[in-house]
Chain A
């Protein structure tokens, strides 16, 4: 399972970076969101995958014994998703503004508009 998720995360990174190297604004933004999703998947996977072992202290014990599913990476991913979503919304609005001001969605045109 880890291998599968690692590959998926790698594919997301690769696709994200490829799209960011394209010239259109929309592709750039999709690339950014793929990159952030790849990162989220990576955090989740790197934290270790444990199935059916909730992090709950059993009756009679005073501490958790491994293996148990670590809740921290999920909390981290949740935070990262929220932040990523906000930034995605902002960059969409900014792209709209760029298009309205410069009249093009070509990244090269934007660079020339100085």
Chain B
């Protein structure tokens, strides 16, 4: 049972140690890297447990389930927490290539650890109010990381980011207050047990809409995503990698939880709402991405569009579609974090991520270009890479559920993604550069981090069979609920 708290305790301890030596950057980097590797180790241990022995539950301080706070890891949570470890290691390794000294002396490393702790906590908690608290932990860390700078673009981005997230938190909290008033509990398993008997259609709809709005802001769904491309491209690449890889996925995860636990069997209009929002996100996100000429803004819009993929197949709530959605989330965390690190190398080499200043990378930086091919073409969905397999899994689920028009949109948007990423590859790497020259070296630590994440992508690609079996099991667990409820509320009638 102890394995369950390690993904939360390890980053907390690391952050506490890091705070002791604020003025020694090199020492901090090593401590942070060690902490992240330990985090990855503990998450892998937890995953093995969950995979082998079933759902793991810890009642904090021994208070039994509906009264105390429960920490619980089912397959979905365990797999996502492993991804937190992977991204954590990559980002702390990338810090060796140099962090802006001001940021570093003002707590860059401890904040990253606190952020990782918040994300792990959000994935592992079994209580909706506790989920709100973890959201806030993670948000405050991200606020400070975002605002630790004085250029006007960054301050402006931080301001938008903070405001919209505070509004989303208020809406989430409102939903929690109403839910507690109706159901009398916020423990997820207890809710899953009680809600089907206490729900009334009106309350159900109000709560669901509040949850959808709050989590759609966090995840970045249309029409609530505009804050994301307006802010994610301003912080340094490593911070962008954590934000893009993990933070939006917490929103998707929260949607998966509330939709499977609470709103299975709710009014179909609710699922149509989420489906329409998701499809609009896909289309508008990608059309906007095609209109951009800056590498990081292209990434931000692609990120938004692909979040739409995952929520579209989530809203169908069939086992196959949900399994595809989970697979895609796992693949996307790695790929998008990797691409933000690639943008960090581009920024280092050319001092810009605008396509005008890029180009000719293939000639000047052949190794880096080959490494960058993996995430770029994986996101584009070129077979046989993980993006292609993820889309295939989603398509299978969508067609299986009979939502042919959604399948059609997934295909069209897939084609647009191919166009967007193909053009990005051509413009940034393949096209001969007229004037641009590389200012410096790409930075070996960054290249190591990128190749590490690329290896994970390749592992997802070649291990797709077993992984897909795992995501199918996770989807089954989510939809069946009984196993989850039984594990958490052991001994209750």
B174 touching A98, Cβ below 8 Å: no
A54 within 8 A of B: no
Tell me which residues across on chain B come within 8 A of A101, comparing CB atoms: 150-152, 155
Tell me which residues across on chain A come within 8 A of B176, comparing CB atoms: 43, 76
Instruction: Please give the residue numbers on chain A whose beta carbons come within 8 Å of chain B beta carbons, in ascending order.
Output: 20, 28, 32, 35-36, 39, 42-48, 70, 72-73, 76, 79-80, 83, 86-87, 90-91, 94-95, 97-98, 101-102, 110-111, 113-114
Tell me which residues across on chain B come within 8 A of A91, comparing CB atoms: 162-163, 166
Candidates A36, A46, A83; contact of B180 at CB < 8 Å: A46
Q: Known A42-B177, A86-B140, A87-B136; judge A94-B158 contact (CB<8 A).
A: yes
Q: For residues 142 through 170 of chain B, which have their beta carbon under 8 Å from a beta carbon of chain A?
A: 143-144, 147, 150-153, 155-156, 158-159, 162-163, 166-167, 169-170
A46 touching B178, Cβ below 8 Å: yes
B159 touching A98, Cβ below 8 Å: yes
Interface of B is mostly: helix
B133 within 8 A of A: yes
Candidates B166, B173, B181; contact of A32 at CB < 8 Å: B166
B215 within 8 A of A: no
A40 to chain B, nearest CB (A): 8
Alpha-carbon gap, A101 to B151, bound state (A): 7
B140 touching A87, Cβ below 8 Å: yes
Q: Which residue from chain A places its CB closest to the CB of B178 in the assembled complex?
A: A46
Count of chain B residues with a beta carbon within 8 Å of a chain A beta carbon = 31
Given pairs A35-B170, A97-B155, A98-B156, 6 additional interface contacts (CB within 8 A): A43-B176, A79-B129, A86-B140, A94-B155, A97-B147, A98-B159
Q: Which residue from chain A places its CB closest to the CB of B154 in the assembled complex?
A: A101
Instruction: Please give the residue numbers on chain B whose beta carbons come within 8 Å of chain A beta carbons, in ascending order.
Output: 129, 133, 136, 140, 143-144, 147, 150-153, 155-156, 158-159, 162-163, 166-167, 169-170, 173-174, 176-178, 180-182, 184, 186
| Residue with the highest number of chain A CB atoms closer than 10 Å, among B162, B167, B170 | B170
Tell me which residues across on chain B come within 8 A of A97, comparing CB atoms: 147, 150, 155
Tell me which residues across on chain B come within 8 A of A110, comparing CB atoms: 156, 159
Alpha-carbon gap, A101 to B158, bound state (A): 12
Candidates B144, B150, B178, B180; contact of A72 at CB < 8 Å: B180
Tell me which residues across on chain A come within 8 A of B159, comparing CB atoms: 94-95, 98, 110
Alpha-carbon gap, A92 to B180, bound state (A): 31
B178 touching A42, Cβ below 8 Å: yes
Q: Known A46-B177, A97-B147; judge A102-B170 contact (CB<8 A).
A: no
Q: Known A83-B133, A113-B156; judge A90-B177 contact (CB<8 A).
A: no
A76 touching B177, Cβ below 8 Å: yes
B152 touching A94, Cβ below 8 Å: no
| Residue with the highest number of chain A CB atoms closer than 10 Å, among B156, B176, B186 | B156
Alpha-carbon gap, A33 to B151, bound state (A): 27
Alpha-carbon gap, A100 to B159, bound state (A): 13
Alpha-carbon gap, A69 to B253, bound state (A): 34
A65 to chain B, nearest CB (A): 15
A47 touching B170, Cβ below 8 Å: no
B136 touching A111, Cβ below 8 Å: no
A87 to chain B, nearest CB (A): 6
Tell me which residues across on chain B come within 8 A of A43, comparing CB atoms: 173, 176-177, 180-181
Tell me which residues across on chain A come within 8 A of B167, comparing CB atoms: 20, 32, 35
Tell me which residues across on chain B come within 8 A of A70, comparing CB atoms: 184
Tell me which residues across on chain B come within 8 A of A72, comparing CB atoms: 180
Q: Known A43-B176, A46-B177, A83-B133; judge A90-B140 contact (CB<8 A).
A: yes
